[in-house]
Amino acid sequence: MSLTPDKERAVNYETLYTLTSDRERAYKLTMALPDPEAPFGDAVSVISELLEKRKEEVVSLREEIALSFENERIATKAIFPESPLFPHEYGEYFPVIYASGNLELLKTRTLTILGMLRPSMQGRYDALQVLSYLISEDVTAILTLDDGIPFLVAENMLYRNGNVIAILSDPISRCSSANEAKLRARIYASGLLLSVFPPSVRSERWHVVVRNNFIASISESVFLAEEKDGGPSWAVFDKVLARGGRAMLSSSMLEVPSYTWAGRHIESGSLTYSSEKDLRRLLPKKVKASKEPDLFS
């Protein structure tokens, strides 16, 4: 079965990235091909010489990766930087993103919601209060599908017909648990699944770090409902805050003596959430169609 042009280009990129371990270089090499959306063809000799690899190794690797794309069990599109749908990247460079579901959500206002694995009742309450505000303002929630607050918010957003973009730490066509598989199916039906991992890679625990770097890269605004000192949510929160993005944490964390990191982040410029009006400082303003050009028409 032949691949669509976007998949052919993605296969070229993933082959070159596997050989170079350098995203930027791999994408530049992809775009330098005579036809980025076709198999290497005669260019394989140049590639093998440039990367000091045997031609047979390059051809075999590309065929293996192409086969994994052909065997995908879910409809997926590869999105590239020149696409109007490609999310703006503020930090680390990810030149190819795999998407499945409602691509129109990439045009909407978004807020990334972070939270811990085992939240307190107050943490759950704060997350659900923010969820209600997002739905009322037609803002899309960017989430992982980790247990705890992310899973809670995803389920409740879907139940209330809110918009969800889930960022995965696996290829879109692969899942680690039955519960997550069911949630992914619901998101696929009305929301959007995003991953930077192609179907050709195995799921690895360290992918969570890459996923978190990707979330931080595409997040203009983040809200932290609750996290213990040193917890994984802080890595995303810190990256967004350090580059001058909007970062807000729940003020209830300041009342817990063991949560010392929350106070430190207030000193570093983090915003605090106590009531709905605070969220207006966090969200990007609505674009008025009558005054702004339609960039996606």
CA dist list (Å): 212 to 94, 179, 245: 12, 21, 16
Are the C-beta atoms of residues 235 and 216 closer than 8 Å to each other? Answer: yes
Report the 3 state secondary structure along 224-268: ECCCCCCCCHHHHHHHHHHCCCEEEEEHHHHHCCCCHHHHHHHHC
Q: List the chain domain ranges.
A: 5-71, 97-279
Instruction: Measure CA 128 to chain center.
Output: 21
Percent pLDDT > 90 in the chain is 87
What is the C-alpha separation between 72 and 69, in angstroms, rounded? 5
Mean pLDDT within 237-253: 94
pLDDT digits over 183-241, tens only?
999 999 999 999 999 999 998 999 999 999 999 999 999 999 999 999 999 999 999 99
pLDDT digits over 131-142, tens only?
999 999 999 999
pLDDT digits over 40-81, tens only?
999 999 999 999 999 999 999 999 999 999 999 889 999 999
Place of tokens 């709905």: 276
CA dist list (Å): 152 to 170, 247, 262, 280: 20, 21, 22, 23
Please provide the CATH number assigned to the domain covering 97-279. 3.40.50.450
